A and B are shown apart, each in its own frame.
Chain A
Amino acid sequence: MASKTLYSQRDPALKKRDDFEDILEERRNFSDLRYALRCYTPVLYKGMTPCKPSMLKTIVLQSEQLHYVVNQVSKETGEATDIIQEEAVVILEEMAQRLQLSTIRFFAFTLSKAFKALFQSIRVNEEGIQRLQQAIQEHPVVLLPSHRSYLDFLLMSYILYTYDLALPVIAAGMDFLGMKFVGEMLRMSGAFFIRRSFGGDKLYWAVFSEYVKTMLRNGYAPIEFFLEGTRSRTCKSLTPKLGLLNIVMDPFFKGEVFDVNVVPISISYERVLEEALYARELLGVPKPKESTSGLLKARRILSEDYGSIHVYFGQPVSVRSLAQGRINRSQYNLVPRHIPAKPSEDALDFVSDTAYRLVRKQEENMVLRPWVLIAAILMQNLDGMDSALLTEQTAWLRGLARAFGAFLDWPDNEPAAKAVSSSLALHRDLVRTEGGRVLLTEQPPESSSPEEALFNRAVAALSCASYRNQILHVFLRPALAAVAMDAAATSRKDDVYGSFALLRDVFSNEFILCPGAASRTGVVTLARRERDTRDFEEACYLLMKCGAVQILKQDIVVTERGRPVLSFLSGMLEPFLQGYQVVCRYFREEANEGLTEKQYVPAVRSFAVKRILSDGLKCYEALSSDLQKNALAALLRMNALKKVKVVDLVTLKVNKTAVKTLEDALGCKVPVQKPVLARL
């Protein structure tokens, strides 16, 4: 059932995507109570050994794996084994889920009410549901939804309940447990809680990984977690976290299960519930601590219209077929399987490549509404634009997006003008039309200090950016190529690729780009070389397909009709290029010795505020802590910064020349160095 090729050069014109069905429609016509109490008999995994949540705990606590680590920790700390074992019991108590059908029924009832109030529709691709149903019976299943909202996992369970599918157990962050009843309610609806960081804690890791693996091996329930690790505040996909993916693949590597099916799921919100919160959070207003009273206050949102949600269940992917020829499973045969071992180089490489492919699948199947096209255009016209021009450009961009394979949900036969006006109406919090011009709505300033005003503009801009970000993945690779073509000294393919490769390296924390390409050391395998050029090849293919460039033997030539396309595409990345330059400039000009990571974000933010106010930059994204953190990671990765540990304090040491080189390269002032790779 599961597909072998996760990613293929797509041809959007031919690609037939599944139809969606609105699951709220039935809810609006029939009793919610009856729905919540209906007979629920999901199909189960064929090899499942039925057991209760309490039994799971016993299995974990008695496992050889855990015993081994308990003994190990006991030897290291000198603590008695039964005390360590007791610690393990406590960890597991705190972690374990207690999935109960009654709680699910409770949620089925209340969520039905809430969803109907909040959303116009919740659309699900039924073919995906059917594929999932098949997959669940065959092998243990791992569900990997995208993560944009707190709602995601309740929504997932709600949908699975609706379709009579096995309810998942869900890896959730420990912060939920802070909320009094809610934490326990979530636990009873299948959530298990993990600490955000437990780097060195062997015992915690052992309990956690054994708990997940036990549920997987027994086929207890589909396991659900978020590859991105946390909600994306920017609506861009986050670079995947590999820990849990490693854990769920391990039983396959070690032969404990025949196969594991992973299912990428894309949840697209027309309006994210947390929209306004996110922008403030990115600008440094700390995120409110999860609390029950906070949730109750959030009730006012019930009166708003949040449009529709699209949930796309992707093709289940067989880990076995993915690993075919890439993982030599006999390497696991020579050490007892209960002894924890560091994953081998090829396993790490495989997991990170798979994670990347899965996130791209999530991106690809995100349903995009007309509004994101509008947002993308508005972001290049922050001073507002004529509404007729906006409509015209939206129609143009729709064509380009389709050519690049975007999964657009454009209402049937609806003219662009109508789509634009209804989008503007839905997002009236963000945009307004004044005298034929469309403008971003700013909160009325409470006081009139320039900083305050800037802050207000930034909130609006970042909110709007979060919608542009939803479609960024469609244009990303061609856009990087467009920037690279500007920056490259000549139009020779090699030169363009050189610039492209540099940009890809710089932005590999910012966007989902093929991992492990140039920055890794080690043997350059054929697979890795192929991966090196994968993004570039795709960019060239798309640009050529839409007629923006011609690819000659050695050169890439821009066509006449390609110019507006390329200039729009580079414009799309402009805020990121500028944002990174601001960060570079900060390190060159202002960062002093002894700067810690903690001080970095506020410091760079106030630097950016100054720059914007004094230089008249329109780059609000430089204020986003997300971009700032990604830029920091990039600079560290590229050795322009170094972490230095002095006693207990980790500080950042700046290599100013390297930072300057990078800054110039991003500003297209200096042609980048010759490409390392010639095999294109």
Chain B
Amino acid sequence: MASSGSSSERQQIAQKRLRIIAGHLQKDEDRETTRIFANDCKAKVTDTNRITANTVPRRRQEIMKWNGWGYSDSRFLFNKKGQAEFTGRRYRLSGVIMPYLKDWFEGTFGANVLHRTPATAAVNTSAVQPPSVNEAFVQELNAAGILLSLDPEDRVFRCHGHCLHEIFALREGKIGRVPDMVVWPNCHDDVMKIVELACQHNVCLMPYGGGTSVSSALECPPEETRSIVSLDTSQMNRILWIDEKNLTAHIEAGIIGQDLERTLNESGYCTGHEPDSMEFSSLGGWVATRASGMKKNIYGNIEDLVVRVRMVTPRGVIEKSCQGPRTSTGPDIHHFILGSEGTLGVVTEVTMKIRPLPEYQKYGSVVFLNFEQGVACLREVAKHRCAPASIRLMDNAQFQFGLALKPQVSSIFTSLLDGLKKFYITKFKGFDPQCLCVATLLFEGPRNSVLQHEKQVYDIAAKFGGLAAGEDNGQRGYMLTFVIAYLRDLGMDHSVIGESFETSVPWDRVLDLCRNVKERIVTECRERGVQYSPLTSCRVTQTYDAGACVYFYFAFNYRGLSDPVHIYDQVEHAAREEILANGGSLSHHHGVGKLRKQWLKESISNVGIGMLKSVKEYVDPKNIFGNRNLL
């Protein structure tokens, strides 16, 4: 079965995974990594050279795509032989040939890899509206020594998240309202200064962390007439202290996930917070959107991890005066901050729980006859509260997709072995490849308890007809989450558009919701003239006592449609209505932003909206934080 091998091997794998994450950006040999600083902010400002050496440079476009996902050097393409490959050297999949992807792609979408719909190569800076600058504000910023930029490329980079319509427009070279200016504070005090000046000169501030939003949260409101200033927190990225007695760390909110984990790892710790976007998303962003990490079963979601938050608002700084692990002091003010989506202020520093690095990590996977059995198993696991660090169940479509991403087989032996495995599962055990689905697992902890835990989970799985399917499949499943966002760009190169969306739903409605939402998407696409039936796929990505988080993928070939994005938006809108009608939530972790705010009232009631409004009214009466998310 899956668990065999020496502990050193296990540890190697664990280390390897950490290296993968850490090594996503090993650009220059002599690059300086983020360190832990206990000095104050003034000291840092003097040393400007060092700041530019962080993972995320001020000029993001130097290493990242301006109109697609991730690093510029990493992308999927179909090579001259028509085989798919992934470029660059950052990921395990980098440089790998995937011979099956073309057939899957063409078969699933009715697309042709020879038909290309390429993106505009570079920003057409003349299409960017000239900045409307508040001169007095700029002068005072300069006087305070805060870095800023009016460069069109900088501004364009910060006018969007990664919603389909945002990226699609950029690829077409269409640029809407962009921020008029970008500022880079270096520390909490800088932010205080900026907010103070913004209030004084009545400019609109839009906090910007990692830019991975998928809720239209970063779109500049077109009706905004004031100067819009994008407040990029990326340079506030130090770990200010680590408290090993209490297992907490105090961290600047601009740090991005991979830097945070890597730096803590060097000291033998981790936060364990690993959202799928952790390569690029920032701590402040997690707090502001109520993020969720894949290992929340051990470490908790962001709201469980946060001990103390500092947020700069137009009214001043909001923070708690103690670090007690729990308090009964009226409604928890952290919950005004968590999920505020940049409408109340900027999160500058966070005290967060940390954990010693796990001794042992092990992947695993289980195949089920069908999705229903898989969901039943996950429900049972949740009932026994024995979910591993991560447990995810993909449906058959996603399983097929995973197969399509398999690399070229290097030896006859492996292909023979694969064949035998397949034979065993399909013929001997009677699994139908068109129905079966796979759960991927990740266990963490002391070696003995991991092995014990593993057995417990596999025993439950066996009750639902689940067959253990090896560590390799599990690990591949998790690796794919990092590259899947790159795949959308490949689709868009060949007239396929798509996106993911998520929800959370009580256990008894999981199956009904998945089926109805998929069917709704197919029906809506058909009614809107989408010629080839769309790809709809879902997976259960998190389990809770009372329900689960479900993640949907939806993509279609838009050839022959005059306004594909509009159709896409209508279908996604219909899908969200279907989710709500079937007992799903408006969002589990993506947030509301502007994309979903039309449903917020029915989700939280009129009084709820009124409460939020009155908080906003008190904290930010002049609407300085004017990104118009949520309300």
Cβ of B117 < 8 Å from any Cβ of A? no
Interface string of B505-529 (1 = CB under 8 A from A): 0001100110110011000000000
Contact with A along B24-45 (1 / 0, CB 8 A): 0000000000000000000000
- Contacting B at CB under 8 A, from A243-259, are 255-256, 258
Q: State which of A330-338, A437-445, A451-459 sits at the interface with chain B.
A: A330-338
Return the chain B residue nearest A47 by Cβ: B515
Q: Give the most central of B515, B580, B581: most A CB within 10 Å.
A: B581
Flag if B519 contacts A255 (CB, 8 Å): no
Interface check A329, CB cutoff 8 A:
yes
A328 to B583, CA, bound (A): 12
Collect the chain A residues with CB atoms within 8 Å of residue B508's CB.
336-337
Closest CB-CB distance, A533 to chain B, in whole Å? 31
B582, CB-defined interface residue at 8 Å: yes
Mark B residues whose CB is within 8 Å of A: 508-509, 512-513, 515-516, 519-520, 580-583, 602
CA gap between A336 and B583 in the complex, in Å: 11
Q: Kindly report which residue of chain B lies nearest to residue A253, judged by CB atoms.
A: B581
Tell me which residues across on chain A come within 8 A of B516, comparing CB atoms: 255, 258
* CB-CB nearest in chain B for A332: B583
Residue interface mask A114-141, B partner, CB < 8 A = 1: 0000000000000000000000000000
Query: Do residues A256 and B512 form an inter-chain contact, with CB atoms below 8 A?
Result: yes
Which bracket fits the contact residues of A?
10 to 19
Tell me the nearest residue of chain A to B584, going by C-beta: A333
B580 with A258: CB separation less than 8 A: no
Q: Which 7 A-B residue pairings sit nearest by Cβ, starting from the closest?
A: A333-B583, A329-B581, A255-B582, A258-B519, A255-B512, A258-B516, A330-B581
Residues of A within 8 A of B582 (CB): 255, 329, 333
Chain A contacts for B520, CB-based, 8 A = 258
User: Do most interface residues of chain A lie in helix, strand or loop, or is the interface mixed?
Assistant: loop
Q: Is the CB of B580 within 8 A of A255?
A: no
User: What's the least CB distance linking B606 to chain A, in Å?
Assistant: 15
Interface residues of A in 316-351 (CB under 8 A from B): 328-330, 332-333, 336-337
A337 contact set on B, CB distance < 8 A: 508
Can you name the residue of chain B whose Cβ is closest to the Cβ of A338? B508
Contacts of B512 in A (CB 8 A): 255-256
Using a CB–CB distance below 8 Å, which chain A residues touch chain B? 47, 255-256, 258, 328-330, 332-333, 336-337
User: In the complex, A47 Cα to B370 Cα: how many Å?
Assistant: 13
Q: From B602, which residue of chain A is reached at the shortest CB distance?
A: A330
A330–B509 CB distance below 8 A: no
Q: What are 27 residue pairs bridging A and B, where the CB atoms are less than 8 Å apart in the complex?
A: A47-B515, A255-B509, A255-B512, A255-B513, A255-B516, A255-B581, A255-B582, A255-B583, A256-B512, A258-B515, A258-B516, A258-B519, A258-B520, A328-B581, A329-B581, A329-B582, A330-B580, A330-B581, A330-B583, A330-B602, A332-B583, A333-B509, A333-B581, A333-B582, A333-B583, A336-B508, A337-B508
Q: In the assembled complex, how far is the CB of residue A317 from the closest CB belonging to chain B, in whole angstroms?
A: 16
| Residues of chain A within 8 A of B519, CB atoms compared | 258
| Chain A proximity of B507: nearest CB distance (Å) | 11
List B contacts of A336 (CB < 8 A): 508
Bound Cα distance from A332 to B580, whole angstroms: 11
What is the bound-complex CA distance between A337 and B519, given in angstroms? Answer: 21
B515 to chain A: which residues have CB within 8 Å? 47, 258
Which residues of chain A are near B583, meaning CB under 8 Å?
Answer: 255, 330, 332-333
Report how far A336 CA is from B546 CA in the complex, Å.
12
Distance of A369 Cα from B520 Cα, bound (Å): 43
Once bound together, how far apart are the Cα atoms of A258 and B513, in whole Å? 9
Q: B513: nearest residue on chain A (CB-CB)?
A: A255
Query: In whole angstroms, how far apart are the Cα atoms of A329 and B579 in the complex?
Result: 10
Min distance, Cβ B574 to any Cβ of chain A, angstroms: 11
Residues of A within 8 A of B602 (CB): 330
B100 to chain A, nearest CB (A): 28
Kindly state the separation between the CA atoms of A397 and B602 in the bound complex, as whole angstroms: 56
Bound complex: CA of A258 vs CA of B520, how far in Å? Answer: 8
- Please give the distance in Å from A479's CB to the nearest CB on chain B: 40
B586 smallest CB distance to A (angstroms):
11
Minimal Cβ-Cβ distance residue in A for B582: A255
Closest CB-CB distance, B236 to chain A, in whole Å?
Answer: 41
* Nearest CB of chain A from residue B160's CB, rounded to whole Å: 31
Give the nearest-CB partner of B516 in chain A.
Answer: A258
Instruction: Give the complex CA separation of A329 and B582 in angstroms.
Output: 7
In the complex formed, the residue of A with least CB distance to B520 is A258
| Interchain CA distance A256-B516 in the complex, whole Å | 8
Q: Among A329, A332, A337, which residue has the most Cβ atoms of chain B within 10 A?
A: A329
Contacts of B509 in A (CB 8 A): 255, 333
Query: Within the assembled complex, what's the spacing in Å between the Cα atoms of A4 and B580?
Result: 23
Closest to B580 in A: A330
In the complex, besides A255-B513, A255-B582, A336-B508, 19 extra interface pairs with C-beta distance below 8 angstroms are A47-B515, A255-B509, A255-B516, A255-B581, A255-B583, A256-B512, A258-B515, A258-B516, A258-B520, A328-B581, A329-B581, A329-B582, A330-B580, A330-B581, A330-B602, A332-B583, A333-B581, A333-B583, A337-B508
**B603 CB to nearest A CB, Å:** 9
A333 to chain B, nearest CB (A): 4
Complex Cα spacing A45 to B602, Å: 35
CA distance A332 to B581 in the complex (A): 8
* A333 vs B515: C-alpha distance when bound (angstroms): 16
Could you say which of A255, A329, A333 has the most chain B C-beta atoms within 10 Å of its C-beta?
A255
| Distance (whole angstroms) from the CB of B341 to the closest CB of chain A | 23
| Contact residues in B for A328 (Cβ distance below 8 Å) | 581
